[in-house]
Amino acid sequence: MIIETNSPLPKHPRPVIVIGAGGIVNDAHLPAYKIAGFWVTGIYDIDRDRALQTAGKFDIPLVYYTPEDMLARSPRSVIFDVAVPGSQILSVLRQLPEGASVLMQKPMGDDLAMAREILKLVREKKMTAGVNFQLRYAPFINAARHIIGQGLIGDLVDIEVNVNVYTPWHLWKFLYSLPRVEILYHSIHYIDLVRTFLGNPESIYARTVKHPEMSKLASVRTSIIMDYGSMKRATILTNHNHDFGLEQQQSYIKFEGTRGAIKLKMGVLMNYPEGVADSFEYVIVEKGQPPVWKTLEVTGGWFPHAFIGSMSQIMLTVEGSIAQPDNSVEDAIQTMACVEAAYESSESGGVRPIF
């Protein structure tokens, strides 16, 4: 059985300018572009020393002094990779030229109201714009989508995400000042992923909470149910404060169909940032035969390989190979609406039992 694990690549890659030189750029964006052979022509960061350091590490020829300098020296048909916190995306987009091609880091703003402002601005400026919800392009997700798309596990009826790990949140200092953290900056990936398989949910139930050992963060643990009616189930459970060694840590996505199942271990989240190996297990039930789980060897992981797929969508659109990015702002606004619903559900609370 041949299973596709790679995302489609553009025939004519465009040059890339990166705005932002933080950890995600160094750990994922730039390594991914190097693997794909995408040409990064320049980089800008408000911290020029950090930009210079990143440029030296990845052989980027130009480090811009200001946004104006960047725009004056940017090549034609460039893709702007906007890798800044959600709160800064709108101000960056306002500085970019009309008709610009943009891949913006998730989330699409701090909340749904800001996401709508971003969508409005993108439409007004006639930009080709997408959001970097890259998990949907991870090689193991591509493989799962291929198997499910062929109907090999029957009708998809259950998606479960379970993350029980220790996350070193101190690596992202900007998160400590934010009123929203876990769902907006982590579980948003899983909400987006579920949408790509099951569409938009009928409703969302959620609760996101703090932890005594990480009390300065808005939240680090979340439970989410995405409601798809009486025959399908989608659940997301995350705990980022399991600081008791690797033995009982787990990080998986499980898809169950009427004739089989797939279980993916996302090793990058365990023992972060070093990570552990991913795994891809699946079972396809043959009539009259006992279930036999098999292992599929998948090359590449969430970090950095999934980031190739996100950027490729923008390039494929610019070159005319597809009509619009799969990760377009028009699609991303729906993920942001689901995130907003999760926070509203968390704040409204549950139903009190009557004893």
pLDDT at residue 113, as a whole number: 98
Condensed to tens digits (0 to 9), the pLDDT of residues 155-193 reads 999 999 999 999 999 888 899 999 999 999 999 999 999
Condensed to tens digits (0 to 9), the pLDDT of residues 121-167 reads 999 999 999 999 999 999 999 999 999 999 999 999 999 999 999 99
Determine the average pLDDT of the residues in 232-259: 97
Give the residue carrying structure tokens 């600081």. Answer: 243
pLDDT at residue 235, as a whole number: 98
- Among residues of the chain, what percentage have pLDDT more than 90? 94
pLDDT at residue 76, as a whole number: 83
Q: How many CB atoms lie under 10 A from the CB of residue 93?
A: 20
Q: In the structure, what pLDDT confidence band is assigned to residue 1 with cuts at 50, 70 and 90?
A: low
**Which residues, including other chains, have CB under 8 Å from residue 10's CB and lie 6 or more apart?**
312, 315, 316, 318, 319, 321
Condensed to tens digits (0 to 9), the pLDDT of residues 203-221 reads 999 999 999 999 999 999 9
Whether pLDDT at 75 is above 90: no
CA distance 284 to 294: 9
pLDDT at residue 325, as a whole number: 97
pLDDT at residue 4, as a whole number: 83
pLDDT at residue 259, as a whole number: 97
**Average pLDDT taken over every residue of the chain:** 96
Q: In the 3-class helix/strand/coil scheme, how is the chain assigned residue by residue?
A: CCCCCCCCCCCCCCCEEEECCCHHHHHHHHHHHHHHCCCEEEEECCCHHHHHHHHHHHCCCEECCCHHHHHHCCCCCCEEEECCCHHHHHHHHHHCCCCCEEEEECCCCCCHHHHHHHHHHHHHCCCEEEEECHHHHCHHHHHHHHHHHCCCCCCEEEEEEEEECECCHHHCHHHHHCCCCHHHHHHHHHHHHHHHHHCCCCEEEEEEECCHHHCCCCCCEEEEEEECCCCCEEEEEEECECCCCCCCCEEEEEEEECCEEEEEECHHHCCCCCCCCCEEEEEECCCCCCCCCEECCCCCCCCCCHHHHHHHHHHHHHCCCCCCCCCEHHHHHHHHHHHHHHHHHHHHCCCCCCC
User: Which residue ranges form the domains of the chain, and what is each CATH number?
Assistant: 16-134+306-322 (3.40.50.720), 136-295 (3.30.360.10)
The token pair at 136 is 């949907």
Size of the chain, expressed as the number of residues it contains = 355
pLDDT at residue 282, as a whole number: 98
pLDDT at residue 351, as a whole number: 87
- Edge to edge, the sheet with strand 62-63 lists 62-63, 40-44, 16-19, 79-82, 101-105, 128-132
pLDDT at residue 92, as a whole number: 97
In single-letter form, the type of residue at position 235 comes to T
Residue 6: exposed, middle, or buried by beta-carbon count in 10 A (0-12, 13-18, 19+)? middle
Q: In the structure, what pLDDT confidence band is assigned to residue 310 with cuts at 50, 70 and 90?
A: very high
Whether pLDDT at 260 is above 80: yes
Are the C-beta atoms of residues 178 and 138 closer than 8 Å to each other?
A: no
Condensed to tens digits (0 to 9), the pLDDT of residues 89-101 reads 999 999 999 999 9
